[in-house]
Structure 1
Amino acid sequence: MMQCYRTLLMLTLLLLTAACTSINSHQYGNGQMGNLVLVEPLPANMRSQMALARYNQILGQVELNDSQRADLLYQRGTLYDSVGLSGLAQFDFSMALKLKPDMAEAYNYLGIQHTQNREFIRAYESFDATLEIDPDHDYAYLNRGIALYYGGRPELAIDDLHQYHKKDEQDPYRVLWTFIAESEVDYEQARRNLADSRAQLPQENWATQLVDLYLGNISERKLLSGLLVGVENQRELANRLCEAYFYLGKYHVARGETAVASNYFKLSLSTNVFEFVEHRYARLELELIREDVLAGPRR
């Protein structure tokens, strides 16, 4: 009887193991995403909440001139943006610009939010205004390049992203966004440019591994296994995972593996690092994937 029980138990365990392997293979494609690192989503920042309360009090009770009110509205808008309240942030930026029309940074923030909402013409106008006021505004070139990329104008996006990349050729993120846009125009040339840019990147920057992944120099599993190296706290981990999972999502979109890509974009969103470019556009990527599933590939 005992021998029969042991045999039955072994068969049950074997069946369960096979079932789990089958599920993982079906969902994640032969072990993809098999050694994920997860982070507790960042909580709402208490300091930001207290600062918002103070701004609300000052704006509601203190007599201010137009310039002072505009500056406070802008600062409150950046705090709203950092905790994910983009609608309130957009309202504050718009109000600040009515009072002080030469605030380049407020135009830049508005452009980002228009891009997230796929209001591309308004986004281009906002970034154009930013650069007209401040021609050396680095991030306006990045953000306008991203808007042009998502707006279906990759040729124009490349010009802006090249401009952004030239300001710091040792930044892996600048290299990646340039490649993402270039690959929409000429994939083989984009890979050659990516390989050339890789030579300028510092090995000690963890994000250089993302470029190596895109070049095929390292495996996805190796990249995932190294995500904890050098991380000292939960904030650093959340920041890193927000970035890593977004670019892994883009990597799988390019390979046509939209189910895996969707999971990575959702993981990027789950970090709650609202102010990062990668978090901002992970949701847009998910929208595009859903549209592609319904209408067929369009990118």
Structure 2
Amino acid sequence: MKWFRTATLSVALLVTAGCATTSNNSAQWLYPPMAVPLQASVQQEVQIARLSQLLQRTDLPNDVRAKMLYERGNYYDSVGLRDLARLDYNQSLSLNPAQPDLFNLLGVYFTQVGEFDAAYDAFDSTLELAPDNTYAARNRAIALYYGDRIDLALEDMQKHYEQDPSDPFRALWLYIVKSEKAPELARQELEQRYQARDEQWGWVLVAITLGDVTEEQAFKAILSGTRDNTVLAQRLTEAYFYLGKRYQAEGDFASAISLYKLAISFNVFEYVEHRYSFLELSRIYNQVKAEHLAKAKQAQAKNAQ
């Protein structure tokens, strides 16, 4: 679900640089391909101001006020003001609780900040009100994955994938979740799906994940595919996130951290890849911290002997 308008910037590319070749002949970018970070538009700012003025009226019917709070929350969210958006969403729900799309947005917010039980409740509410909401089904599976409920996440994501096997993002997230249980089988299945791919952009991300193309080839494909800065920022956000996931799975935390920070840098606030990059950074920090504590305890035990 996209909430951003098209940016008016005409410059599609800030930096593209050559590659350095390592001893194993894998291409590494000296300077990462970049786009101009997206900025709040005049239209977004004007709409926030206009809705804020209208909401001061005391004669608004509850259904109208609920809709306006929902709209202002969307504008807040699109410029990265997520706490203000959440406040508006909660007020809107208090006036009209039958809003499945709004529960879905709250669920994504709760997932991002690690409040997984609240996220599950929000997605369940969406699916009770709108059983065919595929966004909520996917987002609940992702929340279950981040909440370490892998069996339930796999069940949800498998169903989500089977509804549209041609969707590369469904195939990619099914691979990510299934890798927690059976990494070799998950990779084998993803390779089979990749071989049967169509021309959708997302299959480039699958190729990056599988290592089927070099990073140089992938970024050249991204940069040559569009001259529009907004599209470039969106695609780089996705590419850096999934490349970060690959490096993280390989144990290269330093590269993963850099890639997640790049995914955040373009300000594509409405993309889950931007939102969950923060969550991935927290997971890496917690994992490294736990490993250091375990090593410290082992060292203390040896010294005590």
One-letter code aligned to 2:180: E
- For residues 66-93 of structure 1, the C-alpha deviation after alignment (integer angstroms, 9 at most, x for no partner) is 1111111111111111110110111111
Query: Which residue pairs with 1:14 in the alignment?
Result: none
Aligned partners of 1:268 and 1:282 also within 8 Å: yes
- Shift in Å at residue 158 of structure 1? 1.4
Secondary structure of the 2:114 match is coil
1:288 aligns with 2:283: yes
Q: 2:71 aligns with which of 67, 70, 75?
A: 75
How do 1:234-249 residues align onto structure 2 when only pairs under 5 Å count?
A: 234-249=229-244
Query: Which residue pairs with 2:146 in the alignment?
Result: 150
Q: 1:137 aligns with which of 110, 133, 136?
A: 133
Aligned partners of 1:142 and 1:160 also within 8 Å: yes
- Shift in Å at residue 165 of structure 1? 1.9
Secondary structure of the 2:55 match is helix
Instruction: List 4+ stretches of structure 1 deviating above 6 A.
Output: none
- Shift in Å at residue 199 of structure 1? 3.8
Query: Which residue pairs with 1:225 in the alignment?
Result: 220
Identical amino acids, percent of aligned pairs? 42
Secondary structure of the 1:32 match is strand
- Cα RMSD of the aligned pairs, angstroms, is 2.2
1:265 aligns with 2:260: yes
Give the direction of change, closer, same or farther, for the CA distance of 1:107–1:252 in structure 2 (3 Å limit): same
Cα distance in 1 between the residues matched to 2:262 and 2:273: 11
Larger radius of gyration: 1
Any unmatched runs of 5+ in structure 1? 1-20
Secondary structure of the 1:226 match is helix
The structure carrying a bigger helix percent of its residues is: 1
Cα distance in 1 between the residues matched to 2:180 and 2:98: 35
How many aligned residue pairs are there?
273
Q: 2:273 aligns with which of 259, 275, 278?
A: 278
Secondary structure of the 1:61 match is coil
Any unmatched runs of 5+ in structure 2? 1-18, 293-305
The TM-score with structure 2 as length reference comes to 0.84
Q: 2:53 aligns with which of 33, 57, 67?
A: 57
Cα distance in 2 between the residues matched to 1:163 and 1:57: 44
One-letter code aligned to 1:254: A
| Larger RCO (alpha carbons 8 Å, 6+ apart) | 2
Cα distance in 2 between the residues matched to 1:83 and 1:68: 23
